[in-house]
């Protein structure tokens, strides 16, 4: 049975992952706050180290979200039962493993900081192997527990010096929040040097989270494109989109929803069971993103719904979108047409706004580098969070002629950004 501290985290993660649209703003804020506090407490337990928790718990959680369909477990209530819920079970298993790690190794300050097994301290050892009912957790830890713990085998005391931490290679734990369009590629063409730099970054103990305002693609499609263009394997759980951020703002009262946009929005809504409609009189909310097939009729219907009182949400308001042949109209251009016709401004979910920052925080990200090509989205995203630092690249929207003073660092391209991140991490 998971102890109360870990159970609090399981409770928070399950609610926010399975039923974000079933929670009002106040409930969501309370759950996020409690889950974040539990996570901080887990990291500070004796015998635990931060990078172990990060690499194990959050990767396990991400794999669970990616590999398990949550649709059969959606309900019409905000309380999700753990009974028969594989997502809950997978997360619970991962925190049970963390409990095992915490309980097995005990640091006794009075014995010259030598490691002492918990069995020597209280006469008992964790009974049996940790329960694993899901193969998705098998490879969650990137390197062996014994390498971190400084012990030989389970149940065997270790009289050597206590390791203050993993070897230098594994001490390099960096969070990088990376934009996609204009940073790694333009259209279907890689930015020169970006694939090699991305491979170099993934070879270190770096956790890369791709945060994009492009609402046209699902996380799986975005991950596939990263792999196709750069050759670097990417898990969909590493991708956060503005479509997901917009959907996270919806409540029960906002259904059904009208969509002006593409597959990224539609699938984000379907994943959490939100009803959709094309009828302006029936719509309780309208979500607008980039739509390369937008028509006069779709603008007219969306603006009519907004005029009638439907909640007006925009995935983002980026006016342009970089391609190999130049800039094309972005989601902001579509949003502006509807806002003008409806005479109302939208709530914006994507970068740099709070909705998408909350999703990033749910990945366990604290200090981070933010790499992007836009001052008004990427640099502004980093500016909004005191622990995040921005690196602006000049391969997308922003140019050297713009006012770049708000950026912490300005570099020519992604390759230079990776050089900067790794040099700072190694103290050079």
| pLDDT confidence band for 153 (50 / 70 / 90) | very low
In the DSSP assignment, the letter for residue 256 is: S
- More confident position, 259 or 70: 259
Lowest-pLDDT range of 14-23, 115-124, 400-409, 415-424: 115-124
CATH 3.40.50.1000 residue window(s) in the chain = 172-428
Q: Is the dihedral of CA 303, 306, 307, 310 positive or negative?
A: positive
Task: Calculate the CA dihedral of residues 268, 191, 188, 186 and round it to 10 degrees.
Answer: 60
Q: What pLDDT shows up at residue 302?
A: 98
Q: What is the mean pLDDT of residues 302-311?
A: 98
178-190: average pLDDT: 96
Q: What is the mean pLDDT of residues 26-42?
A: 64
pLDDT digits (tens, 9 = 90+) for 342-380: 999 999 999 999 999 999 998 889 899 999 999 999 999
Q: Confirm or reject CATH 3.40.50.1000 for domain 172-428, answering yes or no.
A: yes
- Portion of the chain with pLDDT greater than 70, in percent: 59
CA quadruple 237, 241, 243, 244: dihedral sign: positive
Q: What is the mean pLDDT of residues 11-16?
A: 59
Is the pLDDT confidence value at 107 over 60?
no
Average pLDDT over residues 202-212: 92
- Of 88 and 186, more confident: 186
Q: What is the per-residue pLDDT for 280? A: 97
Taking 90 as the threshold, does the pLDDT of residue 18 lie above it? Answer: no
Q: What is the pLDDT of residue 384?
A: 97
CA angle 63, 29, 40 (to 5 degrees): 60
249-271 tens-digit pLDDT: 999 999 999 999 999 999 999 98
Q: Select from 194, 205, 248, 207 the least CA-distant residue to 373.
A: 194
Catalytic option among 49, 179, 318, 373: 179
Tell me what percent of the residues of the chain surpass a pLDDT of 90: 54
Return the minimum-mean-pLDDT range out of 47-56, 205-214, 239-248, 390-399.
47-56
Strand partners, 312: 286
Active-site residue (options: 49, 51, 181, 358): 181
More confident residue, 427 or 141: 427
Better pLDDT: 53 or 239: 239
Residue 179 annotated as catalytic: yes
At 233 the pLDDT is 94
Read off the pLDDT band of 426 (50, 70, 90).
confident
Strands 185-186 and 189-190: antiparallel
What distance in Å separates the CA atoms of residue 179 and residue 188, rounded to the nearest whole number? Answer: 15
pTM confidence score:
0.63
Burial readout 161-178 (b: 16 or more C-beta within 10 A, e: otherwise): ebeeebeeebeebbbbbb
Tell me which of 317-326, 353-362, 408-417 is least confident. 317-326
Predicted pLDDT of residue 325: 85
pLDDT of residue 29: 62
- Whether 175 is catalytic is no
What is the rounded average pLDDT for all residues in the chain?
75
Reading the block at residue 35, the tokens are 């889950």
pLDDT of residue 363: 86
């Amino acid at each position: 049975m998971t102890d109360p501290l870990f159970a609090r985290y399981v409770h928070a993660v399950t609610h926010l992952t399975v039923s974000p649209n079933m929670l009002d703003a106040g409930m969501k804020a309370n759950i996020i706050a409690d889950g974040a506090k539990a996570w901080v407490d887990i990291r500070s337990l004796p015998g635990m180290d931060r990078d172990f928790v990060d690499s194990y718990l959050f990767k396990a959680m991400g794999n669970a979200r990616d590999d398990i369909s949550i649709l059969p477990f959606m309900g019409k209530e905000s309380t999700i039962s753990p009974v028969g819920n594989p997502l809950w079970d997978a997360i619970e298993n991962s925190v049970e493993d963390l409990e095992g790690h915490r309980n097995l190794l005990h640091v006794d300050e009075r014995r010259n900081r030598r490691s002492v097994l918990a069995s020597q301290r209280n006469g008992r050892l964790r009974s049996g192997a940790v329960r694993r009912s899901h193969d998705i957790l098998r490879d969650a830890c990137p390197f062996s527990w014994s390498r971190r713990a400084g012990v030989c085998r389970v149940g065997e005391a270790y009289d050597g010096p206590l390791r203050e931490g993993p070897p230098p290679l594994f001490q390099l734990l960096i969070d990088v929040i990376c934009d996609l369009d204009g940073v790694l590629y333009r259209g279907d063409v890689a930015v020169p040097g970006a694939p090699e730099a991305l491979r170099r970054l993934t070879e270190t103990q770096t956790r890369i989270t791709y945060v994009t305002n492009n609402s046209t693609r699902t996380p799986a499609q975005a991950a596939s494109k990263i792999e196709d263009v750069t050759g670097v394997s990417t898990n969909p759980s590493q991708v956060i989109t503005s479509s997901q951020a917009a959907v996270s703002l919806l409540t029960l009262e906002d259904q059904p929803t009208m969509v002006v946009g593409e597959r990224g929005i539609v699938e984000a809504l379907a994943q959490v069971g939100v009803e959709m409609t094309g009828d302006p009189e029936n719509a309780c909310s309208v979500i607008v993103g980039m739509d390369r097939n937008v028509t006069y009729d779709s603008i007219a219907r969306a603006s009519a719904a907004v005029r009638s009182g439907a909640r007006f949400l925009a995935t983002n308001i980026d006016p342009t979108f970089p391609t190999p042949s130049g800039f094309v109209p972005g989601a902001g251009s579509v949003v502006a047409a509807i806002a003008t016709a409806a005479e109302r401004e939208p709530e914006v979910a994507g970068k740099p706004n709070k909705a998408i920052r909350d999703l990033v925080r749910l990945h366990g990200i604290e200090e981070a580098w933010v790499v992007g090509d836009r001052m008004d989205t990427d640099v502004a995203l980093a500016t909004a969070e005191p622990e995040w630092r921005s690196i602006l690249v000049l391969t997308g929207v922003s140019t050297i002629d713009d006012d770049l003073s708000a950026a912490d660092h300005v570099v020519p391209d992604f390759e230079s950004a990776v050089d900067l991140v790794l040099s700072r991490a190694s103290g050079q």
